[in-house]
């Protein structure tokens, strides 16, 4: 390298130094962009000023009934302009209301509207917001019953709910561990395949729920593509984290933890759904919903225990695994019950999709490797049977939840 | 209020404090689109359970108030704002009344904070109340200052050329001229298609032809029942008398005990087949279309299709606050509600005070 001294050769072969000139070159397009934007804003740049009335887009995020004569409406402005809520109608009656922080909701801003309306138990109500331009936005109260109060008792009740649907069933499922240890090689393959089956079901289930929830949010936040992209990034990030071990076999315990994480995010989503249902007075579904989720989630424990059936982890790993997979449900119920935000919920679920996809990938590789070691076909009765059984079990127990 | 039931201290304090403050602390506190309003006070609302609150109040109201300065017209002054025209005498001895009417596009507030892109006669909805006597020569110079073609079609007798069905182009002018007949309560409106849009955007008004022998003296009020489809979905969001929803709930119409009240009532509600007028604690004589001097009916509800109009006469023999409203409850909830405040001297209460006293406004 030392022989190459002529400046001309160096110019051609070596990258130029990052001096002030280079920085300027990097900034040049941005400066031009700024100029163009300024031109557009100031002169309209030949496109012409907008004369049409502003397009107003308010999304009613949620309507709750905190007292016998109170309706509380939470709204988000997903449109391109600020929207001023001028009046409020309940069931085609103009009604007194207060709005905070104020009637003008900026772009992407949120507001809470309190209406002292004497709602009627079990009879549906419709809330309509009228903007200063006379545009109307409608929201329905489908289940009309008083929403739970935000107090310590409710907080604890929500926590219990999360423990019932998350921590306990996952913990119970992990108790299959001693049984799993007694399985032969093909039995193990079947159980791992069962795990993949469970996870594939959860993957689609979580994805569907994420897409459903994102559908209720203002389109400006990205809609369905946001879900796929967040899931993809979560998947990629977890793969990248898994490969930090520099080509070493990822440890089976590590896989178990990642499964627990994926399931945890899924359970967070379930918690959100349960919490929101309770907060919006859909608690009538309550007990049966909890039984359904408990049965549904017990199989998740098997999924976590399967990869470590041949290891001998210390006992507290099991507690941690159960906590990682189950306790997010508690967090979910709290969030869903107290500060439900559809966008946040959808993003959590999308993260869950990515995390589950990543563990499907890892457990799948484990099965492939073990099949190769034994010279057995990948799709044997044991593996395919396990996969199908996993999906079938989840489907059957999901029926309980849907009821 | 006191004395009927055992009162708790809270009850008493609330009741006494509330009575004085009711109107002001209620809807008036949030008058005209609030720039910043208090955060929802949920604990307060919880506390307002039945039995503990001072009075059970309904909050069925449009929050705030429309400043007449914004619209350039006031539903209250419209009640008695009769335009007799520029009066002169023709060589034949016939009275000539000349009126100038222009059409203009104008953004008006049909409810506090809700703008509506109206088409107006003389910048107001309803248009000016044209008033004359049977047999007068009426000459109306119509200038179209709107961006759309419009016309004025008068009800009553006139020549075919004066029927107002020919569109007058933007910027153009025309003259409608006829001898006023028959006496009665008539209307006028734009007759350019699509009629639905031209009517519901506000091109209508009242046209009164007095009989040669005048009706008995009375406190006369002009009312047009109208409605507005602010989101243009073919159904009305706001119902009112003289355009602004709930205006006469917040600003009751003052009347005197014992005086004869005469209402020139017409209906220009679009989209809904009918509208109606109901008077509380009283009955009225109906002079259908105002074309006879004898009443045809004595009732307290009258139901009308579009452009139907009747003269109503009544007298309150006692003081008090009496509602008047459509007897379609849907329209009540959407703004078509008002109050007559009857006193010995016809004095008016402060805005919102009566509504607060009646429990129409929510207590804050």
pLDDT for B95 equals: 97
H helix or E strand, kind and range, residue B323: strand B320-325
- Residue B248: asked if its preceding bond is cis (omega within 30°), the reply is no
Q: Does the pLDDT at position A246 exceed 80?
A: no
CA distance B85 to chain A (A): 35
Tens digits of residue pLDDT in B266-276 = 999 999 999 99
Tokens found for residue A298: 């017990």
Q: Does the pLDDT at position A230 exceed 70?
A: yes
Helix, strand, coil shares, percent, chain B, to 5: 15, 35, 45
Tens digits of residue pLDDT in A166-182 = 899 899 988 888 888 88
CA distance B253 to chain A (A): 21
Q: Which positions in chain A touch B63 (Cβ < 8 Å)? A: 87-88, 94, 96-97
> Does A68 contact B49 at a Cβ distance shorter than 8 Å?
yes
Which residues sit opposite B83 in a β-bridge? B130
Check if the beta carbon of residue B114 is closer than 8 Å to that of residue A134. Answer: yes
Q: Does the pLDDT at position A277 exceed 80?
A: no
pLDDT for A253 equals: 87
> Does A94 contact B362 at a Cβ distance shorter than 8 Å?
no
Q: State the pairing for strand pair B253-256/B337-343.
A: parallel
Q: Does the pLDDT at position B322 exceed 70?
A: yes
On average, the pLDDT of chain B sits at: 86
From A95-104, A365-374, B250-259, the region with the lowest mean pLDDT: A365-374
Tens digits of residue pLDDT in A331-348 = 988 888 887 778 888 888
Tokens found for residue A324: 């990682």
- Residue A59: asked if its preceding bond is cis (omega within 30°), the reply is no
Edge-to-edge order in the sheet of strand A110-115: A58-67, A70-77, A110-115, A98-100
The total of other beta-carbon atoms located within 10 Å of residue A310's CB is: 12
Between B127 and A13, the higher pLDDT residue: B127
Report yes or no: B334 at the A interface, CB cutoff 8 Å: yes
Q: Does the pLDDT at position B24 exceed 60?
A: no
- Which sign does the torsion angle of CA A359, A360, A364, A367 carry? positive
Q: Does the pLDDT at position A285 exceed 70?
A: no
Most A CBs within 10 A among B37, B47, B65, B239, hence the mutation to make, goes to B37
**Interface of chain A toward chain B, CB-CB under 8 angstroms:** 66-70, 72, 84, 86-89, 91-103, 112-118, 130-136
- Which sign does the torsion angle of CA A274, A278, A282, A286 carry? positive
Q: Compute the average pLDDT of residues A354-383.
A: 85
DSSP B218-253: -EEEEEEEEEE-TT-SSS-SEEEESSSTTHHHHSPE
Confidence of residue A126 (pLDDT cuts 50, 70, 90): very high
CA distance B115 to chain A (A): 5
pLDDT for A13 equals: 53
B246: left (phi over 0), alpha (psi -120 to 50) or beta: left
Measured in whole angstroms, how far is the alpha carbon of residue B273 from the centre of its chain? 18
CA distance A124 to chain B (A): 17
Check if the beta carbon of residue A205 is closer than 8 Å to that of residue A331. Answer: no
Burial class (CB in 10 A: 0-12, 13-18, 19+), A49: exposed
> Does B41 contact A89 at a Cβ distance shorter than 8 Å?
no
From A147-156, A340-349, B50-59, the region with the lowest mean pLDDT: B50-59
Measured between CB atoms, which of B38, B114, B116 is closest to A87? B114
A133 to chain B: closest CA residue: B115
Tens digits of residue pLDDT in B180-214 = 999 999 999 999 999 999 999 999 999 999 999 99
From A85-94, A343-352, B292-301, the region with the lowest mean pLDDT: A343-352
| Cα–Cα distance measured from residue B35 to residue B13, given in angstroms and rounded to the nearest whole number | 31
Q: Which positions in chain A touch B60 (Cβ < 8 Å)? A: 93-95
pLDDT for A289 equals: 65
Confidence of residue A51 (pLDDT cuts 50, 70, 90): low
Between A58 and A281, the higher pLDDT residue: A58
Q: Does the pLDDT at position B25 exceed 80?
A: no
Q: Does the pLDDT at position A205 exceed 90?
A: no
Q: Does the pLDDT at position B48 exceed 50?
A: no
Tens digits of residue pLDDT in B65-79 = 999 999 999 999 999
Question: How many percent of chain A have pLDDT more than 90?
Answer: 24
Q: Which of B225, B221, B223, B196 is nearest to B332 (CA)?
A: B225
Between A175 and A44, the higher pLDDT residue: A175
User: Who contacts A259 (Cβ-Cβ below 8 Å, separation ≥6)?
Assistant: A195, A199, A303, A304, A307, A325, A359, A362, A363
pLDDT for A382 equals: 85
pLDDT for A352 equals: 82
Most B CBs within 10 A among A64, A73, A86, hence the mutation to make, goes to A86
């Amino acid at each position: 390298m030392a022989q190459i001294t002529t400046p001309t050769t160096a110019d051609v072969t070596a990258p130029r130094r990052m001096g002030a000139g280079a920085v300027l070159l990097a900034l040049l397009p941005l400066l031009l962009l700024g100029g163009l934007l300024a031109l557009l804003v100031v002169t309209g740049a030949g496109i012409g000023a907008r004369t049409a009335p502003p397009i107003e887009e308010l999304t009613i995020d949620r309507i709750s009934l905190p007292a016998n004569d109170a309706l509380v409406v939470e709204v988000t402005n997903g449109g391109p302009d600020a929207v001023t809520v001028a009046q409020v109608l309940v069931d085609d009656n103009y009604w007194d209301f207060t709005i905070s922080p104020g009637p003008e909701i900026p772009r992407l801003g949120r507001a809470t509207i309190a209406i002292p309306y004497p709602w009627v138990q079990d009879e549906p109500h419709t809330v309509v917001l009228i903007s200063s331009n006379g545009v109307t936005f409608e929201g329905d109260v489908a289940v009309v019953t008083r929403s739970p109060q935000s107090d310590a008792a409710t907080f604890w009740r929500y926590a219990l709910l999360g423990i019932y649907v998350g921590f306990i069933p996952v913990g119970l499922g992990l108790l299959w561990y001693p049984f799993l240890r007694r399985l032969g090689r093909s039995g193990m393959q079947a159980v791992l395949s069962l795990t993949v089956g469970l996870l594939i079901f959860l993957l689609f289930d979580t994805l569907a729920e994420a897409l459903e929830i994102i559908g209720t949010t203002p389109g400006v936040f990205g809609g369905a593509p946001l879900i796929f992209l967040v899931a993809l990034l979560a998947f990629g990030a977890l793969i990248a984290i898994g490969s930090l071990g520099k080509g070493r076999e990822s440890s089976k315990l590590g896989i178990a933890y990642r499964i627990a994480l994926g399931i945890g995010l899924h359970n967070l989503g379930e918690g959100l759904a349960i919490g929101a249902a309770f907060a919006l007075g859909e608690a009538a579904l309550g007990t049966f919903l909890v039984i359904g989720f408990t049965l549904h989630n017990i199989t998740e424990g098997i999924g976590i225990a399967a990869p470590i059936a041949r290891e001998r982890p210390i006992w507290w790993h099991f507690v941690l695994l159960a906590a990682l997979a189950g306790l997010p449900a508690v967090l979910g119920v709290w969030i869903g019950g107290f500060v439900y935000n559809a966008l946040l919920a959808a993003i959590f679920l999308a993260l869950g999709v990515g995390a589950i996809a990543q563990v499907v990938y890892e457990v799948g590789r484990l099965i492939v490797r073990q099949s190769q070691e034994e010279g057995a076909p990948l799709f044997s009765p044991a593996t395919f049977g396990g996969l199908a059984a996993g999906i079938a079990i989840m489907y059957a127990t999901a029926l309980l939840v849907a009821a | 209020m006191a004395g009927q039931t055992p009162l708790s201290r809270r009850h008493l304090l609330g009741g006494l404090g509330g009575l004085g403050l009711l109107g002001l602390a209620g809807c008036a506190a949030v008058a005209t689109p609030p720039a910043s309003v208090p955060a929802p006070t949920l604990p307060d609302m919880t506390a307002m359970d039945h039995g503990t609150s001072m009075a059970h109040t309904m909050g069925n109201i449009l929050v705030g108030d429309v400043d007449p300065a914004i619209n350039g017209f006031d539903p209250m002054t419209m009640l008695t704002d009769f335009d007799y025209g520029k009066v002169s005498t023709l060589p034949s001895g016939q009275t000539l009344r000349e009126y100038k009417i222009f059409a203009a596009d104008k953004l008006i507030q049909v409810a506090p904070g809700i703008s509506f892109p109206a088409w107006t006669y003389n910048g107001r909805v309803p248009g000016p109340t044209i008033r004359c006597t049977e047999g007068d020569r009426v000459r109306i110079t119509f200038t179209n200052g709107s961006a759309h073609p419009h016309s004025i079609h008068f009800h009553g007798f006139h020549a075919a050329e004066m029927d107002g069905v020919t569109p007058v182009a933007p910027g153009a002018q025309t003259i409608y001229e006829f001898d006023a007949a028959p006496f009665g309560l008539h209307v006028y409106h734009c007759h350019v298609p699509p009629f639905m849009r031209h009517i519901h955007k506000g091109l209508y008004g009242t046209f009164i032809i007095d009989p040669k022998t005048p009706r008995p003296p009375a406190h006369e009020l002009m009312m047009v029942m109208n409605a507005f489809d602010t989101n243009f979905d073919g159904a009305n969001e706001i119902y009112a008398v003289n355009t602004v929803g709930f205006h006469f709930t917040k600003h009751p119409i003052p009347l005197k005990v014992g005086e004869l009240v005469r209402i020139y009532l017409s209906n220009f509600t679009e989209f809904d087949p009918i509208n109606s007028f109901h008077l509380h604690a009283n009955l009225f004589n109906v002079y259908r279309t105002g074309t006879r001097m004898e009443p045809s009916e004595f009732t307290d509800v009258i139901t009308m299709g579009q452009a139907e109009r009747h003269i109503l006469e009544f007298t309150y023999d006692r003081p008090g606050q009496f509602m008047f409203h459509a007897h379609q409850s849907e329209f009540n909830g959407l703004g078509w509600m008002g109050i007559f405040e009857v006193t010995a001297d016809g004095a008016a209460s402060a805005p919102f005070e009566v509504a607060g006293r009646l429990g129409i406004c929510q207590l804050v």
